[in-house]
Amino acid sequence: MRILAVCGSGLGTSFMVEMNINQVLKELNVTDVEVSHSDLSSATPDSADVFFLAKDIAEGGESLGEVIVLDSIIDMDELREKVTAVVREKGLI
């Protein structure tokens, strides 16, 4: 499975979310997931299976496919909850 963290510029925010997703996956002992980051304009539906976006750019990512909207990009509890739900839904835990 591939997860793409997306932000407006593809630099700081999406990279931070990518690192935090990797941390959550490690806590969950989930290994078969590739996580990367990108800017919104470069993200395409075939870039990943699941896209994590902040709510301020969520509308721009509606055409990507399965989009998970983060209300707060720094809330680890929210991220942990949403990543856990995705990997559970995909049968990885």
pLDDT digits (tens, 9 = 90+) for 61-79: 999 999 999 999 999 999 9
CA separation for the pair 9, 6 (Å, rounded): 8
Residues of the chain with pLDDT under 70: none
Reported pTM? 0.94
Q: Buried b vs exposed e over 53-75: b needs ≥16 C-beta within 10 Å?
A: bbeeebeebeebbebbebeebee
Class of domain 2-90: alpha beta
Percent of the chain whose pLDDT exceeds 70: 99
Residue type, 72: S
Q: What angle do CA 43, 89, 8 make, to 5 degrees?
A: 20
How many CB atoms are closer than 10 A to CB 26?
10
